[in-house]
């Protein structure tokens, strides 16, 4: 390298092109690229923590857009044998599945002054907004298939409909305690083990009424040490805007049969002249140029799939509600 430079004394090298975006770089000079590793990790951390589906489903590590893996569909068996008798060999059923990560993007308008922040400072300030936008959209798609990029049927609600695992609220006349127990039994009839619930904060009032046959409460609210539970199983609360209130009140299932994966690379771009779908206080779409604002676009790739029919059930609203 030194020899090449000596032979070409007029060659000018812009060292900035060879350097990674440093802590001192400002967004004005770094309008596109990869979100810095540390900030990307924190956004993903908040994404996973905020998503009810990710909090219940099983994680699959991904290093490329498509991943093929095997899972145990039916377990191994045991045998009673007499002395000297040959022990039978069980034949567990292993199935193959392939997950594909889909691009998930968010656009957030910010003030023009934000371009003067350092890159790490900018994404530290944008961290919660980006994560919330990601987990809201992800839960919408994976729970009810709303605006979903995944294959038809690859969401929790479609799994429930296919299996017919629905129970209308109030149909048992004995309250949520009995209804929630019946939802669990739908999964157990498929030889699956319910291991979690998901609903919205709006449903907490109904949860507090859930009692067993002796009148003991079945719902325990969240404490600092433990999550909220129903029948002793954890509850993952979903943002109301991610929940389809016309379809379900609460969902349970064996969440080991729901899988998700995340590719770590997260990209961003700054735009100054876009017109956003977001409405301003005047009821019109926000025009960045008119408002002296910029828009941050962040994209990442996330995978999801449901492995087994009959793994989930739902309590549905009363007819007409």
The 10s digit of each residue's pLDDT in 213-232 is: 999 999 999 998 899 999 99
Three-state secondary structure call for residue 204? helix
**Residue positions counted in the chain:** 321
Contact 156, 142 (CB under 8 A): yes
The pTM of the full predicted model, rounded to 2 decimals, is 0.82
* Sign of the C-alpha dihedral computed for residues 296, 155, 244 and 178 taken in this order: negative
Report pLDDT digits (tens) over 292-315: 678 889 999 999 999 988 999 999
pLDDT in tens, 154-183: 999 999 999 999 999 999 888 999 999 999
Whole-number pLDDT of residue 112: 86
Instruction: Tokens 């003030």: give the residue.
Output: 111
Instruction: Check residue 79 and give its pLDDT.
Output: 52
Cα(60)–Cα(261) distance, integer angstroms: 5
pLDDT at 19: 37
Mean pLDDT of the region 138-167: 96
- By three-state DSSP, how is residue 108 classified? strand
Q: Left, alpha or beta for 24 (phi > 0: left; psi -120 to 50: alpha)?
A: alpha
So what's the pLDDT on residue 274? 58
Question: Confidence class of residue 3 from pLDDT cuts 50, 70 and 90?
Answer: very low
Top-tier CATH class for 169-257: alpha beta
Q: What is the CA radius of gyration of the chain?
A: 25
Q: What is the pLDDT of residues 17-50, one digit of tens each?
A: 333 445 678 999 999 999 999 999 999 999 999 9
Query: Which residue do the tokens 């540390």 mark?
Result: 38
- Say how far apart CA 221 and CA 243 lie, in whole Å: 20
- What whole-number distance in Å separates Cα of residue 199 and Cα of residue 207? 10
The mean pLDDT value for 76-99 works out to 60
3-state secondary structure of 159: helix
For residue 313, the surrounding DSSP H or E stretch is strand 312-316
pLDDT digits (tens, 9 = 90+) for 68-77: 887 766 654 4
Average pLDDT over residues 182-210: 95
Scanning the structure block, which residue is given the tokens 């900030």?
39
How far is CA 192 from each of CA 70, 75, 77, 199, rounded to the nearest angstrom? 18, 11, 16, 20
Query: Tens of pLDDT along 221-274?
Result: 999 889 999 999 999 999 999 999 999 999 999 999 999 999 888 999 997 765
Residue pair 202/194 in contact (Cβ under 8 Å)? The answer is no
The single residue listed with the structure tokens 């990674």 is 20
Give the pLDDT mean for 187-201.
94
């Amino acid at each position: 390298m030194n020899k090449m430079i000596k032979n070409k004394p007029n060659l000018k090298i812009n060292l900035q092109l060879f350097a990674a975006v440093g802590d001192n770089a400002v967004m004005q000079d770094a309008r596109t690229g990869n979100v810095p590793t540390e900030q990307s990790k924190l956004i993903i951390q908040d994404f996973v923590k905020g998503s009810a589906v990710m909090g219940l489903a099983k994680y699959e590590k991904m290093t490329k857009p498509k991943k093929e893996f095997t899972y145990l569909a039916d377990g191994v068996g045991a045998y009673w044998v007499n002395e000297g008798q040959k022990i039978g060999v069980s034949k567990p059923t292993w199935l193959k599945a392939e997950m594909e990560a889909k691009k998930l993007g968010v656009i957030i308008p910010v003030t023009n002054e934000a371009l003067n922040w350092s890159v790490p400072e900018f994404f530290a300030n944008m961290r919660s907004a980006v994560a919330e936008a990601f987990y809201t959209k992800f839960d919408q798609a994976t729970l009810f298939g709303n605006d979903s990029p995944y294959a038809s049927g690859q969401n929790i609600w479609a799994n429930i409909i296919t299996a017919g695992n629905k129970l209308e609220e109030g149909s048992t006349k004995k309250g949520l305690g009995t209804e929630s127990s019946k939802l669990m039994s739908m999964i157990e009839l498929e030889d699956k083990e319910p291991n979690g619930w998901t609903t919205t904060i709006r449903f907490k009032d109904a949860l507090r009424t859930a009692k067993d046959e002796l009148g003991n409460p079945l719902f325990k609210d969240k404490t600092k040490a433990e999550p909220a539970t129903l029948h002793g199983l954890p509850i993952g609360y979903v943002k109301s805007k991610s929940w389809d209130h016309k379809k379900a009140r609460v969902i349970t299932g064996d969440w080991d049969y729901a899988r998700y994966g995340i590719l770590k690379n997260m990209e961003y771009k700054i735009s100054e002249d876009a017109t956003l779908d977001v409405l301003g206080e005047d009821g019109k779409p926000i025009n960045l140029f008119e408002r002296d604002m910029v828009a941050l676009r962040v994209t990442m790739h996330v995978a999801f799939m449901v492995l087994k029919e009959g793994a989930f059930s739902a309590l549905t609203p009363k007819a007409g509600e």
